[in-house]
A = this chain, B = another copy of it.
Amino acid sequence: MRPSGRAPDQMRPISITPNFTRHAEGSVLIAFGDTRVLVTASVEERVPPFLRGKGEGWVTAEYGMLPRATHTRGNREAAKGKQSGRTQEIQRLIGRSLRAVTDLKLLGERQITLDCDVLQADGGTRTAAISGAWVALRMAVDGLMQSGKLTVDPIQQKIAAVSCGIYEGTPVLDLDYPEDSAAHADGNFVILEDGRFAEVQATAEGACYDEEALLRLLRLARMGCTEIFRAQAEALR
């Protein structure tokens, strides 16, 4: 039995609120249950130094967690003077996932930055961030197309992400915090609408897992992403 009473293949309620803030070219508040992440997409008409003059664009992400998004207060990274390894790992994953569905040549020499800030955390912040970031990116690119700055759409696929893990011996979908901290293995899966993978990361936490278990996690993840794709589509309608 899951602490929340959910079935093993049951997602938490997903909500995606578009235009949660007004300055950014794309902005959503995405919630997977009590996990809430504010994502903004910022378009800048310049690229990082390593891309200058190459006629290509860049999509990147930054991730942060408010100090009291969690049960006990964490130190503010700006005050500590550096981002943790965890933060860097997550923001690299988000950026890589979105670049996997973007044709950077078609984007032209501009950069889109996805800022993913966790207002409240209850497990799955990085997968909520990726799922919300795709919507914010979509909104920003739609704006570029409406304004005529882009004529061909550089976004090639829909993408979503969800975590799954083995909790008390059972593979379950969309871990919340109590499950996440007790799971024997957990993974993050970044999936296209056609079922292919952009990223699979599955980590043993206390007990290694076999191929069969991995395949069950993959299947759960695909089920979860189907729901997320639906929520993304609704938010963009």
Q: Is A203's CB within 8 Å of the partner chain B? A: yes
The interface residues of chain B lying within 8 Å CB-to-CB of A34 are 22
B79/A81 in contact, CB under 8 A: no
Which of B66, B82, B121 makes the CB contact (< 8 A) with A117? B66
Q: Is A236's CB within 8 Å of the partner chain B? A: no
Within the complex, the shortest CB–CB distance from A70 to chain B, in Å, comes to 6
Considering only residues 86-141 of chain A, those with a C-beta below 8 Å from chain B are 86-89, 91-92, 96, 100, 113, 115, 117, 119-121
A68/B100 in contact, CB under 8 A: no
The interface residues of chain B lying within 8 Å CB-to-CB of A218 are 211, 214
Which of B119, B195, B210 makes the CB contact (< 8 A) with A196? B210
The interface residues of chain B lying within 8 Å CB-to-CB of A66 are 38, 40, 64, 115, 117
Complex Cα gap A42–B198 (Å): 37
Interface of A is mostly: mixed
Q: Is A73's CB within 8 Å of the partner chain B? A: yes
Closest 10 CB pairs between A and B? A85-B88, A77-B78, A196-B208, A40-B68, A42-B73, A78-B78, A24-B68, A21-B120, A200-B202, A198-B204
Q: List 20 A-B residue pairs with CB atoms under 8 Å apart, sorted by A's residue number.
A: A21-B120, A23-B121, A24-B73, A27-B68, A42-B72, A42-B73, A62-B79, A66-B115, A66-B117, A67-B113, A68-B115, A77-B78, A78-B80, A78-B83, A81-B82, A195-B210, A196-B204, A197-B202, A198-B208, A199-B204
A residues in contact (CB < 8 Å) with B:
21-24, 27, 34, 36, 38, 40, 42, 44, 62, 64, 66-73, 76-83, 85-89, 91-92, 96, 100, 113, 115, 117, 119-121, 157, 187, 192, 195-204, 208-211, 214-215, 218
